[in-house]
C-alpha cells in the first residue's frame, strides 16, 4: 500500500513470513528499508540511544539476565511484526483524508512511527552488544555479583533489598537497580557481613550487607 504520489508516507512493513530465517538486525533492516524511512538519522536523539537510560560506561559490556534479554527481544519483534504495521496503516489512511498540516491522525501517526523506529534501532543495537549473564550460576554464594539480590542495613537501621540488573532491564518499581548505579557499584564484589561506604549527594554513609541470594539454576528448580 502507498500514499499519494510524492508523499512521504511509509510503506507497510513486509509480512512476518518474509522475516523467517533472518537475524533480529536483518529483520529490522528489512522493515526500515521497505518503509523508506531515512529521517531518524537526523533526529536529535543519537541513533541507538535512549535518553531515559544511563549510557553504558566507556568500554563496558552490556550485561543482561536471560529474562531481560528475552523480554527486550520479544518487544523488538512485537514492534516489527505488530505495532509498526498497524501505525503505518493508520498513517496511510490519515494521509488520504486531505490536508496533512491539520490532520491530527496523520501528525500523531508520523510522530509515533518515528518513536517506534527509534526504539527498534535502540533495541537492535543493545541486543547485539548484550552479554547475557545467568545469576543462577552463583547460587549458594554469599559474594555479590551481577544478578544478586542483596539486603543491606543503613546507619539509621533501615533495611533495604535490591536486585542488581542490566541497564536496559532494571525496574525500580520492583526494587531493581542497574549495575552502574552507585549502590550497585558499592555492593559488587562484597560479601555478607561487609561494612561498606556508600557515596551519596549528601556525603558518604555506612551500610552493612546482611544477606545475598541468587535464583536457583533451572535444572535444580525442576527437580524440587
- Distances from the Cα of 151 to the Cαs of 135, 137, 187, 196, 212, in angstroms? 16, 19, 10, 13, 7
| Statement: residue 122 has pLDDT above 90 | yes
Over the stretch 165-224, which tens digit does the pLDDT of each residue have?
Answer: 999 999 999 999 999 999 999 999 999 999 999 998 888 999 999 999 999 998 644 444
Name 4's Cβ contacts closer than 8 Å, sequence gap at least 6.
95, 96
- Distances from the Cα of 106 to the Cαs of 74, 92, 196, in angstroms? 28, 8, 55
| Fold topology of 135-223 | Chitinase A; domain 3 (3.10.50)
Task: Map grid coordinates 532494571 to a residue.
Answer: 170
Task: Map grid coordinates 555479590 to a residue.
Answer: 144
Residues forming CATH 3.10.50.30 domain(s) in the chain? 135-223
Q: What mean pLDDT do residues 154-173 have?
A: 95
Q: What is the pLDDT of residue 61?
A: 82
Pairing of the two strands 62-64 and 130-132: parallel
Is the entire prediction scored with pTM above 0.85? no
| Statement: residue 33 has pLDDT above 50 | no
Contact between 14 and 29 (Cβ < 8 Å): no
| Statement: residue 57 has pLDDT above 90 | no
**What is the percent of the chain with per-residue pLDDT over 90, rounded to a whole number?**
58
| Statement: residue 5 has pLDDT above 50 | no
Task: Map grid coordinates 545467568 to a residue.
Answer: 134
Task: Map grid coordinates 501528525 to a residue.
Answer: 107
Contact between 148 and 213 (Cβ < 8 Å): yes
Report residue 106 CA to chain centroid gap.
28
Residues forming CATH 1.10.287.180 domain(s) in the chain? 16-132
Cell numbers found for residue 102: 491539520
Q: What mean pLDDT do residues 21-37 have?
A: 50
Right CATH for 16-132 from 1.10.287.180, 1.10.10.10, 3.30.365.10, 3.40.50.720:
1.10.287.180
Amino acid at each position: 500500500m502507498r500514499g499519494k504520489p510524492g508523499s512521504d508516507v511509509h510503506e507497510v512493513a513486509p509480512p512476518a513470513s518474509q522475516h523467517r530465517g533472518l537475524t533480529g538486525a536483518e529483520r529490522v533492516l528489512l522493515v526500515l528499508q521497505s518503509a523508506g524511512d531515512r529521517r531518524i538519522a537526523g533526529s536529535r536523539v543519537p541513533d541507538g540511544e535512549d535518553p531515559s537510560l544511563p549510557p553504558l560506561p566507556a568500554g563496558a559490556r552490556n550485561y543482561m539476565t536471560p529474562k531481560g534479554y528475552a523480554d527486550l527481544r520479544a518487544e523488538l519483534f512485537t514492534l516489527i511484526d505488530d505495532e509498526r504495521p498497524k501505525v503505518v496503516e493508520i498513517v496511510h489512511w490519515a494521509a488520504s483524508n486531505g490536508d496533512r498540516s491539520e490532520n491530527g491522525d496523520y501528525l500523531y501517526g508520523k510522530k509515533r512511527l518515528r518513536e517506534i523506529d527509534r526504539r527498534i534501532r535502540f533495541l537492535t543495537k543493545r541486543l547485539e552488544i548484550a552479554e547475557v549473564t545467568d545469576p543462577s550460576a552463583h547460587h549458594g554464594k554469599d559474594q555479590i555479583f551481577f544478578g544478586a539480590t542483596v539486603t543491606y542495613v543503613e546507619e539509621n537501621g533501615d533495611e533495604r533489598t535490591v536486585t542488581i540488573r542490566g541497564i536496559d532491564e532494571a525496574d525500580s518499581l520492583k526494587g531493581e537497580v542497574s549495575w552502574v548505579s552507585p549502590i550497585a557499584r558499592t555492593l559488587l564484589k562484597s560479601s555478607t557481613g561487609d561494612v561498606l561506604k556508600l557515596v551519596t549527594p549528601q556525603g558518604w554513609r555506612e551500610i552493612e550487607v546482611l544477606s545475598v541470594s541468587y535464583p536457583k539454576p533451572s535444572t535444580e528448580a525442576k527437580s524440587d
